[in-house]
């Protein structure tokens, strides 16, 4: 891991904190030794912290080329993202965001004369495009996929909104009076 001041990485964070920091940046299953190297800790420290993170449901254990590896828990990531959306936005803001995303999706469909991303993709195989046009269409696909992902997240957040707000609100019940 390249840091501007190499000493600050190890001076400002404990080994376990560095392992957690490296894990937060994972984008694919990564072997324990590679995580240890990036975090500048021993393999034993990394393995111990990764086992703890696994027991807390932050990571999942897998194998890469026959070697024990870890990856971020996708279910935990989804719920964290939904919780962040709900805590950071009012219901009205999420509804407005849903409308904006749907408008973006409809604009793409209108601009390219298709009803869905799947139909847009079918055009790639059915029509002849130059390399530049293909690059542009790949960019459109990436944008459309991102919009679809955001739409799903916002819809889920709206579905769970009341439950999450209620469960995360502090209890205001009067204290019990035991005699």
The pLDDT tens digits for 103-119 are 999 999 999 999 999 99
The pLDDT tens digits for 12-29 are 889 999 999 999 999 899
Which is more confidently placed, 165 or 94? Answer: 94
Residue 154's pLDDT is 97
Confidence bin at 40 (pLDDT 50/70/90): very high
DSSP the chain: ---SSHHHHHHHS-HHHHHHHHHHT-SS-EEHHHHHHHHTS-HHHHHHHHHHHHHTTSEEEEEETTEEEEEE-HHHHHHHHHHHHHHHS-HHHHHHHHHHHHHHHHHHHHHHT-SSHHHHHHHHHHS---HHHHHHHHHHHHHHHHHHHHHHHHHHHHHHHHHHHHHHSPP-PPPP---
Average pLDDT, integer, range 124-145: 90
């Amino acid at each position: 891991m390249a840091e501007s001041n190499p000493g600050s990485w190890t001076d400002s964070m404990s080994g376990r904190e560095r392992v957690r920091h490296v894990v937060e940046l994972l984008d694919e299953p990564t072997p324990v030794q590679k995580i240890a190297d990036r975090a500048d800790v021993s393999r034993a420290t990394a393995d111990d912290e990764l086992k703890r993170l696994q027991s807390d449901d932050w990571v999942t254990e897998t194998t890469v080329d026959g070697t024990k590896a870890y990856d971020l828990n996708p279910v935990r990531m989804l719920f964290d993202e939904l919780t962040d959306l709900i805590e950071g936005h009012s219901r009205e803001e999420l509804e407005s965001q849903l409308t904006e995303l749907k408008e973006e999706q409809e604009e793409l469909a209108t601009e390219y004369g298709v009803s869905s991303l799947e139909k847009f993709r079918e055009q790639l195989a059915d029509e002849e495009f130059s390399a530049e046009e293909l690059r542009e269409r790949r960019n459109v696909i990436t944008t459309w996929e991102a919009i679809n992902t955001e739409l799903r997240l916002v819809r889920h957040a709206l579905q769970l909104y009341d439950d999450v707000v209620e469960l995360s609100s502090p209890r205001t019940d009067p204290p019990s009076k035991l005699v």
